[in-house]
Amino acid sequence: MLKIIHGADFHLDSPFSGLTPERAAQRRGEQRKLLNRLADLAREKRADLVLLAGDLLDSERVFRETAQALSSALASIPCPVFIAPGNHDFYGPRSVWTALDWPENVHIFDDLERVDLPGCTLWGRAFSDPHQAACPLEGIHVPDDGKLHLAVLHGNVGAAESNYGPIPPEEIAASGLDYLALGHVHQASGLQREGKTFWAYPGCPEGRGFDETGEKGVLYVEAEPGHVTARFVPLAKVRYEIFSVDITGPEGALSNILEVLPGRTRDLICRLILTGEGEAPDLATLELMLSPEFYGLTIIDRTRLPQDLWARREEDALTGLFLQAMWEKCQAAPDDPVCQLAARYGLAALEGGEAP
């Protein structure tokens, strides 16, 4: 049985454009610590192989500190490490993969290559351009010889029109591989199977935005001919989460928010979406109270005006006319938060300007 750590899509040196420059620099530094946790996991599991399926780097432009951290962490892994560069960190004459001298235990794939190892045969290839229309499995058809056959590739399963290495499921089955270690999709897939071939995406090891919420990490895989198991191992320290909080009721927004939140929030970059019916919450005060308990916090108001307030649209006054017009717009687009906000702001402006 071969013990494998399968990771992908670290996207080191991401710009984190949604954060302040200071916080973005901090997040890039924290990303580099993922590499040490990867090395620690390989040692803990006594891994035989580490397979990294592309997009370790976010682009060709790499900070010197990042390249040094990557080289140092990979060198500390006590087993061979195989890297198949992806569309973000493609293999080319100006890439970091050719510009630096990498540790002896690190093998970086370029063109399709087969490597014979104790206990298995491993295939791999790199992207040589940001886009690739050809299936990365082309040329990989292994014999049914009872041996363990693996591949590490970057590509897009089931997306026939993709420019990022489209992989038809039937090609996975036709390859004859025992395990296909993939990168590109940032959501962990769980262990999948086509024909006799098991395959998986580990997802990214740490989220970079609210489209990458929840636990992130790598896979610990145990493989032998004809049989593969995979277990997800969390690696991220900071994660993105979105919580929807209904503030309807007498308790108030703060009480309802605290009921929804998990016990520990210091490692969360959180988006709170306030829903329900009631008076407009004081977002500035809520953020001031809650922000120290989070790594990052954004509060979005999507609440609705109280139903009894809409009754005032029958008033024979400017406020009534305004509420009648807004009522019709809100009924036409009940899920549009802009209508609710417009009604709130307009009402506040009218009420503030009217004589008592």
Structure-model confidence comparison of residues 297 and 23, the more confident one? 297
- What's the pLDDT tens digit per position in 98-139? 989 999 999 999 999 999 999 899 999 999 999 999 999 999
Q: Tell me phi and psi for residue 46, to 5 degrees.
A: 50, 50
3-class secondary-structure state, position 6? strand
Candidate from 169-173, 203-207, 299-303 with smallest mean pLDDT: 299-303
Candidate from 44-48, 186-190, 210-214, 256-260 with smallest mean pLDDT: 256-260
Structure tokens at 288: 């001031």
- The arithmetic mean of pLDDT across residues 83-94, rounded, is 95
How many Å apart are CA 16 and CA 295, to the nearest integer?
Answer: 14
- The answer to whether residue 349 scores a pLDDT higher than 80 is no
- DSSP codes, 269-335: EEEEEEESBSSPP-HHHHHHHHGGGSSEEEEEE--B--HHHHGGGGSSSHHHHHHHHHHHHHHHSTT
Give percent of the chain with pLDDT exceeding 90: 63
- The answer to whether residue 173 scores a pLDDT higher than 90 is yes
E strand segments, 141-196: 149-154, 156-157, 166-167, 179-183, 192-194
Structure-model confidence comparison of residues 321 and 239, the more confident one? 239
| Adjacency order of strands within the sheet including 81-83 | 106-108, 81-83, 49-52, 2-7, 217-224, 227-234
pLDDT value of residue 307: 67
Using alpha carbons only, give the angle 113, 117, 122 rounded to the nearest 5 degrees.
40
The DSSP letter of residue 137 is T
pLDDT value of residue 147: 93
Structure tokens at 93: 């004459």
Collect all residues with Cβ–Cβ distance below 8 Å to 139 and sequence separation of at least 6: 112
Using alpha carbons only, give the angle 53, 215, 1 rounded to the nearest 5 degrees.
50
Mean pLDDT of all residues belonging to the chain: 90
The DSSP letter of residue 185 is -
- The arithmetic mean of pLDDT across residues 247-268, rounded, is 85
pLDDT value of residue 354: 42
Q: Quick check: 81 and 38 in contact, CB under 8 A?
A: no
- The answer to whether residue 251 scores a pLDDT higher than 80 is no
How many Å apart are CA 269 and CA 254, to the nearest integer?
Answer: 18
CA 210 to chain centre: 8
Q: Quick check: 220 and 5 in contact, CB under 8 A?
A: yes
Q: Quick check: 232 and 188 in contact, CB under 8 A?
A: yes
- The arithmetic mean of pLDDT across residues 229-234, rounded, is 98
How many Å apart are CA 174 and CA 172, to the nearest integer?
Answer: 5
Candidate from 8-22, 87-101, 113-127 with smallest mean pLDDT: 8-22
| Radius of gyration for the chain, computed over Cα atoms and rounded to the nearest angstrom | 26
Q: Which has the closest alpha carbon to 177: 160, 152, 156?
A: 152
Give the predicted TM-score (pTM) of the model: 0.86
- The answer to whether residue 213 scores a pLDDT higher than 90 is yes
pLDDT class for 331, splitting at 50, 70, 90? confident
Using alpha carbons only, give the angle 143, 144, 148 rounded to the nearest 5 degrees.
90
As to burial, measured by CB atoms within 10 angstroms (0-12 exposed, 13-18 middle, 19+ buried), residue 168 is middle
First to last CA, the chain: 82
